[in-house]
Every structure is written in structure tokens, then in C-alpha cells.
Amino acid sequence: MEDTQYNVSFKKAEWIALLSLFLHLLFSGLAFLLYHWNHLESVFMLGWFFLAGSPVWFISLLHLRQKRRSQEEVLVEKKSSPETDDNSLFKENSLDPFSALTRLTYFEKWIIPGFTFTLGVFLLFLAGKLIFQYREVEIAQEIKNAPISAAFLVGFSFFSLLVSKFALGMSEQKNWRFLRAGGSYLFINAGISFFCALGAILARLKWFEFDYYFALLIPLLLGILGLELLLNLLLDVYRPRVLNQEIRFPYDSRFLELCTGSRGILSTAAQTLDYQFGFQVSETWFYQFFEKSIVPLLIFQLSTLYLLSCIVVVKPQEQVIIERFGHPLEEKVLFPGLHFKWPWPIEVIYRYPANQIQELHLGIQDQEEEVSHVFFPMMDETNSEKKKKSIIFTHEHNHLENHFLIANHSQQAKKDYLFNLEEEDLQVLKKEQVPLAFVQALRRNGESISPDPMIEIIQEDQEWLVRDSQSYYIINRQNGENKVYKLQEQTVPVNLLTVHIVVRYLIDNMINYAYKHGNPEGLIEGVSYREATQYLASVDMVTLLTTGRLKATHILLERIQKECNTNELGVKIVQVAILEVHPPIPVAKSFEGVIEALEEKQTKIAQAETYRKKTVHLTKAEQKKLIQEATTYLYEKQHLTLAESLMFKDILKAYEAGGRNFLARKYLDTLEKHIKKQRLYVLNVPNTSKQTDIINLEDQASSLTDLDLSEENNHE
């Protein structure tokens, strides 16, 4: 009768293991379906946790089945040979290679360690993969079907808790020990399901952070279990084997047993030490002394840690405010050094970087950091290398850029904008609606008389742009008719510029900074953005790009400091710097094209001006030269003509006095003048028909140095 009850007990344990395995697989599939329905990240992780626990119940089921068959085999042997007293399970001559006992021994020696190693590696791999994929998941902003999902999850928790508590309670009996591993795992599943249901309820209340961060804890728990299984397997190899000692298999997690609360921390630790070292470590004097002293020791340590809250160490860049029962002590602002206070929660400290320059970046947003408030960075190698790298505004930077509206005060821009407005932006005025001052101003302007100082007139072809202090008017004077258009609203042309402004400040009044406003950093940023926007909307783009940057920083510093003082922010603006001013990157190429065109225009104008000045001066010089030459020629002609007339009179008198002698003298003088440097040949040839003369036209040598004494001439 007792043997039959023993056998029935094993079969009940097998049914419990089979039921639990079915629940794991069922709840795992339902959890994945719920995830596709509501997109709760914790439910997705819960599905994997249920699925990862099913192998534990499967190995427990196989272990129970092998154990039951070995026990049935022993009972059969007892009945067949009742006269034998020695029926020990470990008797070598009773082992049959094909017996259930042999299969159980092989199962516990090889299958269970291999299964434990495989399961531990699988849990570590699964945990790593889930955590790696979870990095790209963002906090959800909307959860669908949260109430129904919470109801399903509560059902998971209830049935898991019911079965697990039954399995853990029955595992206290010797025949049901193998249910302890799966029961602990199923109990943890019940707790996780409950917190997943709580996360769904909180998501319904628009608090999505709980589900997001709790989902990350589930793969971390899987990783811890994987490490524990591998550690149990390693320790089991070096565990001493003691006869008749209950064996605790490595897939049975002590960590999960501790989480279930079935054993205390000290009892679990004592049992683990006794099992690992093979003797009763818990009965030694040291362990008993440690067990008695652990509570006073913990009280002493906790008291010491609590009293350490009375000591305050303020760093050099900090200042500390003390609150006593929630009220700040204005006279007890702590400066760098060592200080003492009443313990928490009587007095609480709040640290602020009062002695450290803080930076506020306007106009940009770092892609890696969403906040624009940073502490002033110290100079290091990384920053120096970044500063050496050239950044061109036509290429993408490492941050997102905001754009500011910049006014355009140039007359040409105003004309281009207003003369190209659409008809829907204009309103046609009748003659009686046109202000008389405009008509008079136009009439005076047409007569080259300055218009009224309060009226601005811009003319382009047949259109006139008239502006007073209230509105803009466009007057079209084509075909002898004057059509007057009034702009619906007074508008001005604007530009967009990317401006990177850095505001550096110090905290100079801790109480105002900490208690006057709930978010002083955000208020400083808002004030700085407002003042920067207002100022940049009133300054000319060209001025800001060229010579007005330094002036702009001074004006912005004064305005931001004034607003901070008005709002009692308790900060001192140390510096305002404009680091970048350039057009937006999408239009950078077009802007460079405009600049190149303007430079080319100025170059052409300069070249034309140079050519004009050069031509004017050369023309004036040529004019003076021609005038001077003409004057000289006139003077020369006048005096030469007079001299020639006087000389002719003298020659005439000489001719009248000399007659033929004068003519001969003149002939000889002329002959002498023209043959003075010519070679003369005098020939006396009485009969040219009988005589041939050879004339050598070579120059005669005037001295010995002119003689040709070469060998050829000597040879001749």
C-alpha cells in the first residue's frame, strides 16, 4: 500500500510539471499576441520570460519520469526477491545497462549538466539580444487597449501564482523536490505579470516611463539567471560527494528560491555553504558568531551611514543651500570646504555650480545632446583638436541650426519687395481717398523740390512708392492715369540668418536662483532667445555680417542682464559671444553666388573708374601736349618766317651789288657744302675709245695699321 502511494505521488508531480509547462507555453503565446495588440514593451519581454522558463519544466518532467521508473523498478525487484536484504540503489552488481536506474544515473550525470550549460548560454544570449535591440526603442506616447491588457495580465499572474505556490508547497516533500526549480520560476513569472499589468494601468494614465524601464529589467533578470546556472554548474563539478546527501541539481536556481521568500537569506546561505563544502559549515563557531552578530553589525553600519549625512563637503566650484524642515536658511549658504549640519531629514542640502561658468547656446542644438545648458568646458586635447578643424558654413555641421529673422534696410531690397507684391496684397484707392499731402509731395518731387520730410518717395519707371508713418502706397502713372494702391498691412523685407550665440553666466545670488523660479535655466534661455530675436530683427544683415558683430554682443549682454535683474534670476552675465553668422546651409551656394556677383560688380565698377580716371588724365595730358606743340609751332613759324624775309632782303642787296660774282660764290659754296665729306675722282680721258680705266673704289689706308698683311694677300 505504501509503495503504491509512493508511485502515485510521483505521477501527481509529473502532472503538475506537465500543467506548468502547458501554462508557460500558453501564456508565452498570449503575451506575444497582447504585444501586437497593445505594443507594451514589458509584455513583449514577459513573453520571452515565459518561453525561457518552459525548458525548466520540461527537464523537471523528464527527471520526475526517470525517477518514478527507477523507483518502480526497485519495487518490482523487492517483490520478486523479498529474501534479499541488500537492495541498495547504489549496489554495483544490481546495475543493469538497460535498467531504469542506469538511465537515471546517465540522465543525472550527463543530460542535466549539458542541459544546464545550454540553458545558461541561451539565457545570456537572449538577454544580450533583447537589451541590444531595446536601445533603439523610445518611450511610447500612446497605448491601445490598456484596460483589457491589464485584465489578461492579472489573469496570467493569478493562475501562475496559484500553480507556483502549490508546486513550491509540495516541493517541501522529498518526492516533489524536482518541482522547486520550475515552481520558483513560475512564481517570478506571476510577479512580473502583475507589474506588467500595473504598467498597463499607468500607461492608461499617461505615465509611460514605468513600462519602459520595467521592460528593461526583465532581460537583465534573464542574464542574471543565465550566469547563475553556469556558476552552479561550475561549482557542482568541484563539490565533494557525500553519501546519503540530498543532491541539488544545477538547473535549480537559488536566486529564484530566495526571491520567492520560501527561505530566508541566512538559511539559504547556510544551506548553500553546507552543500558546496560537504560539511556543516553552519555549525561552526564562526558562522554561529556571525549569525548572532549580523543584526547589531548592520544596525551599526546603517547608523554610521546615517550620521555621515551630517558631514557636507562642498567642492571648489559649488555652493550649497541648506533647508531645515523644507525652509531655506538664507544665512547658511555653504561655500567650498568642510561643514556640518543636522542629519537628514531635519536638514537637506542642495548643490549648485555657483562658482563655475555655465554656457547657454542659442541658435544651435547639438545632435547628441538635446539640452543647450552646459558647463564651461576646460581646455583639453579633444577640444583643442576640434578647434583646429576648419568648419565651412556651406557644409553640414555637427549640430542642428535655428534661424533668426534679420531686417533688410536697403532701399533696393525694399523696392524689390514692394514693387513685386501680388494684387491680393494691395487695395485700390479712389481719387478722394488719396492723401492730399502725397499729391503735393509728388508734384514737388516732379519739380525737383524735396518732398515732405515725413514722406518717403521711391520711383521706379512709371511707379511710385510712397510711405508715411502708417502705411505704404504704390502709385501707377501709366497711360496718363494715376492708380493708387494701398498695402493691406505695413510689411518690410526680411532675411534669414543662422546665428550661433553663446551666453556665459555665473550665479551671484543663490537664494534668488534656487527659489524665485522653478526652472531658472529655462527662464534664462527664454530671456536670451527673446532679446536676441528682438535685436536681430532690428539690425541690418550686412552690418551684422561685417562690422556690427562686436557692437551686437555688447548690446545683447546689457539687455539680457537687465532682463535677468528684472526677473530676479540671481545671475551675472559674464560674456555674450556671436560665434557664427551665416546664411542657412540650403541657400549657402546661392548666397555665395550673390556675393561673387556683387564682388564682380564692384570689380567692374573699380575697373571702369580706373579706366575713367586714366582716360581723363591721359586726355588732359594729350590736350596740354597738343596745345604746347601748337604754341611752339606758331612761335617757330612766326619767327622763322620773319628771319627768312630779312635774310632774303640781305641776299637781294648782295646780288644787286655783286652780280655774277655773287652767283658764282653761291654755286661754289653750295658745291663745297655737299661734297665736303664725299670721295672725288678726277678723270682726264682725252680718248675714251682707245683707253680702258680700272677704278679701285676701296678706301685707301691712312696708316700702317690699316694695311692687310694676311698670308693670302702676301701670297698674291
Assign 439 to helix, strand or coil: helix
Give the cell for residue 668: 661754289
Strands 403-407 and 494-507: antiparallel
Inter-CA distances, 53 with 48, 59, 349, 505, Å: 9, 11, 47, 57
Instruction: Return the pLDDT at 269.
Output: 56
Instruction: Return the pLDDT at 218.
Output: 93
Instruction: Return the pLDDT at 224.
Output: 93
pLDDT tens string 316-349: 888 888 888 878 887 778 888 888 888 888 888 8
Instruction: Return the pLDDT at 511.
Output: 85
Whole-number Å distance between alpha carbons of 147 and 200: 7
Give the cell for residue 245: 546527501
Assign 517 to helix, strand or coil: coil
Whole-number Å distance between alpha carbons of 288 and 280: 11
The upper half-sphere exposure of residue 67, i.e. CA atoms within 13 Å in the direction of its Cβ, equals 22
Whole-number Å distance between alpha carbons of 526 and 537: 16
Beta carbons of 8 and 27 less than 8 angstroms apart: no
Beta carbons of 48 and 218 less than 8 angstroms apart: yes
Give which of 494, 528, 493, 497 is closest to 404, Cα–Cα.
497
Give the relative orientation of helices 2-38 and 41-80 as an angle to the nearest 10 degrees.
Answer: 170
Q: Which residues of 6-20 are buried (b: 16+ CB within 10 A; e: fewer)?
A: eeebbeebbebbbeb
pLDDT tens string 65-98: 888 888 888 877 777 765 544 444 444 444 566 6
Largest CA distance in the chain: 200
Q: Which residues of 346-369 are buried (b: 16+ CB within 10 A; e: fewer)?
A: ebbbeebebeeebbbbbbbeeeee
Inter-CA distances, 445 with 416, 474, 476, Å: 21, 15, 16
> What pTM was computed for the model?
0.47
Instruction: Return the pLDDT at 127.
Output: 93
Instruction: Return the pLDDT at 454.
Output: 39
Per DSSP, what are the bridge partners of residue 362? Answer: 501
| Count of C-beta atoms within a 10 Å radius of residue 517 | 16
Instruction: Return the pLDDT at 463.
Output: 47
Beta carbons of 383 and 377 less than 8 angstroms apart: yes
Low-confidence ranges of the chain (pLDDT < 50): 1-2, 84-94, 367-384, 386, 411-413, 418-419, 423-433, 443-465, 467-470, 480, 485, 488-489, 712-716
The continuous run of DSSP H or E covering 704 comes out as none
